[in-house]
Amino acid sequence: MQMVSHTFLPILLLLPFLSAASADVAPGPTPPELNLTSILYKGGQYTTLLRLLQATRITEQLSSQLKNSYDGLTFFAPNDNAFAKLKVGTLNGLTDQQQVQLVLYHVLPRYYSVTTFQTASNPLRTEASGPGGVYSVNVTTSTTSQLVNVSTGVVAVPISNTLFAEFPLAVYSVDDVLQPEQLFGRKANNAAAPVPGQAGEAAGKATARKKGVPKSDVAAEPSASGQEAEDSTNAAARGRGCVEWGTVVAFALMAVVNLVGA
């Protein structure tokens, strides 16, 4: 019994120190929140986007991708002011499939930090696709600042705020809805301007078509020299007419003289 007491004595003396040491160990870091809906709710100005996500059920798809993807995801989140810039009825005018395409157009199938955007190669493919293939965006950065600009061919907008950026998910706020050309068409002021001098010609051809005149028959206004030539031709014709009448009268007089002499 005496030997047993000596064996456990050092352990009993160390127990207070072990308890104190364990109390000083800080808890492990909490895993980052990867729920897109929670991130947007916390942002406080994404009501329209949240309704659209709920209607299209895209959040379920994105959550599944985050759990099974090694590349992560990047999401551009239009705020309520961005949706307010759209024409009234724009969202309601889209079919269910087009609304899904619009939401997925705001998703890049890879995690991009602001620094990573600086080395990205355009165009960047999105999660949206259609009959023409995968929809894409162009992202440009500034060498003097961390400004990141996203262009779709219809709108161009900078990232205004970072809502969340921890691999595998990055969520960036934007002040415009990213509109793909495949759904909204190219912006009107991006159309090529007519070459100077062609506008008048085009107007003339359009007028001719309205009158039923073939394009090949559209002629320029007659020049002064052409008008003078026409006047000269008409005068010559009148002169020839006078000579012919004079000849007829002379023959008639000669006939009358011959009859009298006989």
pLDDT level of residue 69 (50, 70, 90 thresholds): confident
Contact yes or no for 77/49 (Cβ under 8 A): yes
Domains observed in the chain: 36-190 (2.30.180.10)
Residue type, 24: D
pTM score, two decimals?
0.61
Is the per-residue pLDDT at 213 higher than 50? no
Handedness of CA 245, 251, 254, 255 (dihedral sign): negative
**What tokens appear for 152 in the block?**
């779709």
Choice among 12-21, 23-32, 170-179, 188-197 with the minimum mean pLDDT:
188-197
Is the per-residue pLDDT at 76 higher than 80? yes
Residue-wise pLDDT tens digits, 112-163 = 999 999 999 999 999 999 998 999 999 999 877 779 999 999 999 999 999 9
Is the per-residue pLDDT at 193 higher than 90? no
Question: What's the CA dihedral at 217, 221, 226, 228 to 10 degrees?
Answer: 140
Is the per-residue pLDDT at 41 higher than 70? yes
- For all residues of the chain together, what is the average pLDDT? 75
Is the per-residue pLDDT at 12 higher than 80? no
